[in-house]
């Protein structure tokens, strides 16, 4: 499971001209799922993201987590995070999970984030053509891969 998280001042997701998710201060989470991912990946990644101290405290030091600031989150599925660009100029997405595997894992991740944060989070629509608008705060962008936990 791969995630790119961006600390945002605001973010939203629009599908077919309709805004379906919107947050103020918090995290935009782009999530890529591969066939080998499972419940352990979901739990580890959710807890890591929710507790990551990347928000400024009163002294301007990145010392507070998403939980600490009671921030919002939007989770957007993004299979292109598993692109292989080793050969040629056309990315291969062979490692990305097919929808029958990816959708339940995506939904499970959203449920785990909601449980860890204690609140509802925004989402995109799996497989839809989404327009993601964000104001990156910092900028702060961090990449996670659950296969590299150690």
Q: Of 79, 109, 123, 144, which is the active-site residue?
A: 79
DSSP-based three-state secondary structure for 105: helix
Residue 101: asked if its preceding bond is cis (omega within 30°), the reply is no
Q: What backbone torsions phi and psi does residue 148 show, to the nearest 5 degrees?
A: -120, 45
Active site residue 126: no
Active site residue 14: no
Q: What angle do CA 36, 96, 4 make, to 5 degrees?
A: 95
Q: Of 6, 55, 78, 123, which is the active-site residue?
A: 78
Compute, in degrees rounded to 10, the torsion defined by CA atoms 4, 98, 93, 22. -30
Active site residue 39: no
Provide the annotated active-site residues: 78-80
């Amino acid at each position: 499971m791969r995630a790119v998280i961006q600390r945002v001042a605001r973010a939203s997701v629009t599908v077919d001209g309709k805004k379906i998710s919107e947050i103020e201060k918090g995290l935009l989470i782009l999530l890529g799922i591969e066939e080998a991912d499972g419940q352990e990946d979901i739990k580890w990644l959710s807890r890591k993201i929710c507790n990551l101290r990347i928000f400024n405290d009163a002294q301007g030091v990145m010392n507070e987590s998403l939980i600490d600031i009671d921030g919002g989150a939007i989770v957007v599925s993004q299979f292109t995070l598993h692109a292989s660009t080793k050969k040629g100029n056309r990315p291969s997405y062979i490692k990305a999970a097919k929808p029958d595997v990816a959708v339940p894992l995506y939904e499970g991740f959203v449920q785990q984030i909601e449980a860890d944060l204690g609140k509802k989070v925004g989402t995109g629509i799996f497989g839809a053509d989404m327009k993601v608008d964000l104001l990156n705060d910092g900028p702060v962008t961090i990449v996670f891969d659950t296969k590299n936990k150690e």
